[in-house]
Amino acid sequence: MRPQHVLWDADGVLQSLPGGWERAAAPWLGERDEASEALLREAVAVEREALVGRSDFLADLAGVLERHGVDVPARDLHAAIWLATEPDAASWAVVERVRAAGHGVHLGTNQEAHRAAHMRTVLGYDERFDVSVYSCDLGVAKPDPAYFERAVAMIGADPDDVVFVDDRADNVASACGVGLRGVRWTIAEGHERLVSLLHGAGISLAD
């Protein structure tokens, strides 16, 4: 039986940060050097707890900035980097073609609460998906198999009725281990390849 649903990752699949993290961080942290790289590594590390709803990332980020002696408001840096992501128009066109063909379209993403709220409201993701599965709401993040088990339960489908699209191999492998059909793809590969991979996974697209 052909799958009826597609669960979409966000970063690297539906959205990206123009110019990358280094360009976004430069006005606040200076040009790339060992100090700025160390700060950003620690910021990413402390974000892991926030991704599963166990901490407030803005408070944690403020602590990172203080420890590194950087006098920048955490909220401003967060907005300049984490909230500066832009939806990819061509990716969204594919999502709409999938929806128009009769499939359910759902969001499956690891996000901390502040960025999740931005995506829901400012970027309008709640209006674009049937079901939105944010790790900070679930208390578990990809690639933990429990994330995918709970995601398909929220969708109300059997695992093999859901195709999961993500840019990370570990996430796709975990989803497949739970029984979803996995597609690994990133924006840089081009959208013709995405369409081809979706067809290969049994997903129809409207013209």
Q: pLDDT digits over 95-106, tens only?
A: 999 999 999 999
**Tokens representing 99?**
């929806």
The whole-number pLDDT of residue 35 equals: 87
Provide the pLDDT confidence category of residue 50 given band limits of 50, 70 and 90: very high
Question: What percentage of the chain has pLDDT greater than the value 90?
Answer: 90
What tens digit of pLDDT does each residue of 1-41 get? 899 999 999 999 999 999 988 889 889 888 778 888 999 99
Hunting for tokens 């709409």 — which residue is that? 96
Handedness of CA 189, 191, 194, 200 (dihedral sign): negative
Alpha helices in 30-183 (DSSP H): 34-51, 57-67, 74-81, 89-100, 113-121, 125-128, 135-138, 145-155, 169-178
Strands of the sheet containing 104-109, edge to edge, are 131-134, 104-109, 5-8, 162-166, 181-184
Does domain 5-16+86-200 fall under CATH 3.40.50.1000? My reply is: yes
What tens digit of pLDDT does each residue of 82-123 get? 999 999 999 999 999 999 999 999 999 999 999 999 999 999
Domain ranges of the chain: 5-16+86-200, 20-81
Hunting for tokens 């208390």 — which residue is that? 139
Provide the pLDDT confidence category of residue 192 given band limits of 50, 70 and 90: very high
The whole-number pLDDT of residue 132 equals: 98
